[in-house]
Structure formats: C-alpha cells, structure tokens
Amino acid sequence: MKNYLSLIKFSHTIFALPFAIIGFVLGMADHQGVFNIQKFLLMLACMVFARSAAMAFNRYIDRAFDEKNPRTKSREIPAGVISPNKALLYVIINSLLFILATYFINPICFYLSPIALLVVLGYSYTKRFTALCHFVLGLGLALAPIGAYLSVTATFSMLPIWYSLAVITWVSGFDIIYAMQDVEIDSELQLNSIPNALGKVHALQLSSLLHVLSFVFVLIPIFFFPFGIYYWIGLGIFAAMLIYQHSIVKPTDLSKVNIAFMTTNGIASVAFALFFLLDYFIK
C-alpha cells in the first residue's frame, strides 16, 4: 500500500481536493444549505479514484522516460518496485471505481465520467506533442470544483466555473515552474514543455502571469456571493503564497523548486479553502 501511495503521490491530492470541497459547499448553498453525507463521501471517493488512475497511468505511460531521467529513475516502476502490468491494473480498477461512484451520485455525473477520465488520463500523452501540456494538467484538476458542484445540484452554474478557471491557471503556472527542472532531459528525449519551448526566463514570466490570473479568478466570486472578512483573509494568504513561490525560484537557481511546488501551493489551497469554509459556516 505504501508503494502504491508513493506511485500516485497521494499527498498531491492536497492541490485539488480543497477546491472540490469549495464546489460542494457552493452546491449546498444553492440547495438551502442541506448537507448530504452520502454525496459528500462519494464526491471524495471520485476525487481519490480519478486522481489515482491519472497518476498511475502517467507513471505507466512515462516509465521509459522516467528511467532515463536522473530525477525520476528511482520512481516505483523504473526501480522495479511495482511492475508495469500491476500499475496498469491499478489504473483500470480505479477508473472503474470512479465510474461506479458517479453512478451512485446522479445521472449527469455518470454520463460525464468518461469525459473526465479522458481528460485526466489523456494528459499523460500531451508532453509528446505539445508544450501546452501544463494547461491540460490544469484542466484535469479544474474539473474538481465543477464536478463537486454537479454532485450536489446536477446543474451547471457560473460560480464554480470561476474556481475552475482559478485552478487551471494556478496549476499550469506551478507546473511550469516544476518542469524547469527537466529542460535539458526533456530536450534530449524530445518531450515538450513551456520551459523547453520558451526558455526558463520567459517560462517564469508566463507562470507569474498565470498566477496573477488565478488570483483574479478567485477574486471575481465576491461579486456573485455574499462573502465576508474570512474570505478576504483566505484571498490574502493565497496571494502571499503565489508571490512567495516566485520569489524563491530563479532561472539560475532551482534549488527551492520543491518548496515552491509542494509547500507553498499546499498551504495556498488548504488555507484558502479553510477560510472559505469559515466564511460560509460562521455566517
């Protein structure tokens, strides 16, 4: 179990899960604040199953590349800890469990589940043909607030879409920073990324622009929902973490990329969601 949790980087669930909870609560707000524990647990299950399938599939598809990259050759499949066939079986099981969970939520989630899987699994191929792969990763995680909202309401609304736009720009922005570690090996293996296409300096500039847009997208909902002071505090922490990660990563110094990637973004998402919940439930 420890090896499989490491394979899928389970700790990285911290990025999208808080925004899924935000989407779920927004759905509650449109349903007179009624909390359905069954749907909430099914929504969490969908998050876990879809993300587990996506990460395991990425490790399965990229195993030959990971073996040639000094940074990734110790991952479970190249290291022989988990066989490729077992990893693929793990993908299939989690994909089927994801579809099954959506079946018990509502029809629209069930009908859209193959599309969601196509996005989160399809991301693994994109680095082979486009530098825009970071945005496909962002899109996969951005399904979380919309999907969680749909699990409650079974209808679309603009409000959770603003948070999905925030997730797309936020995730693609920090994934560009993360990809700066592999510019040389990506070029050697003929893999695409924005740092590889634009260079590290311009890639960081684009990442900064995306994070400015992400902040704008989490700011816009104040015009559509009666948020209070706690939401503003969450906004402040979110912005501070975005600024901080850009202050510690330089084109000539990537020694703090992991801090920028995991620590600051983990704090940003969790703190923002916590203050969102405080704002909602205290009122």
Q: Which 3-state string (H, E, C) describes the chain?
A: CHHHHHHCCHHHHHCCHHHHHHHHHHHHHCCCCCCCHHHHHHHHHHHHHHHHHHHHHHHHHCHHHHHHCCCCCCCCCCCCCCCHHHHHHHHHHHHHHHHHHHHCCCHHHHHHHHHHHHHHHHHHHHCCCCCCHHHHHHHHHHHHHHHHHHHHHCCCCHHHHHHHHHHHHHHHHHHHHHHHHHHHHHHHHCCCCHHHHHCHHHHHHHHHHHHHHHHHHHHHHHHCCCCCHHHHHHHHHHHHHHHHHHHHCECCECCCHHHHHHHHHHHHHHHHHHHHHHHHHHC
Instruction: Quote the pLDDT of residue 254.
Output: 87
The average pLDDT across 185-197 equals 94
Query: Cβ(25)–Cβ(277) under 8 Å?
Result: yes
CATH number at residue 208: 1.10.357.140
Instruction: Quote the pLDDT of residue 283.
Output: 67
Instruction: Quote the pLDDT of residue 96.
Output: 98
74 is in which domain, residue-wise? 2-282
- Please tell me the distance from the alpha carbon of residue 127 to that of residue 101, in angstroms, as a whole number: 30
Q: pLDDT category, 207, cuts 50, 70, 90?
A: very high
- Please tell me the distance from the alpha carbon of residue 271 to that of residue 213, in angstroms, as a whole number: 19
Q: pLDDT category, 10, cuts 50, 70, 90?
A: low
Q: pLDDT category, 6, cuts 50, 70, 90?
A: low
Q: What is the pLDDT of residues 213-225, one digit of tens each?
A: 999 999 999 998 8
Q: What is the pLDDT of residues 97-137, one digit of tens each?
A: 999 999 999 999 999 999 999 999 999 999 999 999 999 99
Number of independent structural domains in the chain: 1
Q: pLDDT category, 192, cuts 50, 70, 90?
A: very high
Q: pLDDT category, 12, cuts 50, 70, 90?
A: low
- Give the count of beta carbons closer than 10 Å to the beta carbon of residue 145: 29
- Please tell me the distance from the alpha carbon of residue 217 to that of residue 238, in angstroms, as a whole number: 12
Q: What is the mean pLDDT of the chain?
A: 93
The answer to which of 12-26, 99-113, 183-197, 249-263 has the lowest mean pLDDT is 249-263
**pLDDT beyond 70 at 253:** yes
Instruction: Quote the pLDDT of residue 1.
Output: 73
- Give the count of beta carbons closer than 10 Å to the beta carbon of residue 114: 13
Residue corresponding to tokens 């704008």:
216
Instruction: Quote the pLDDT of residue 261.
Output: 77
> pTM for the full model?
0.94
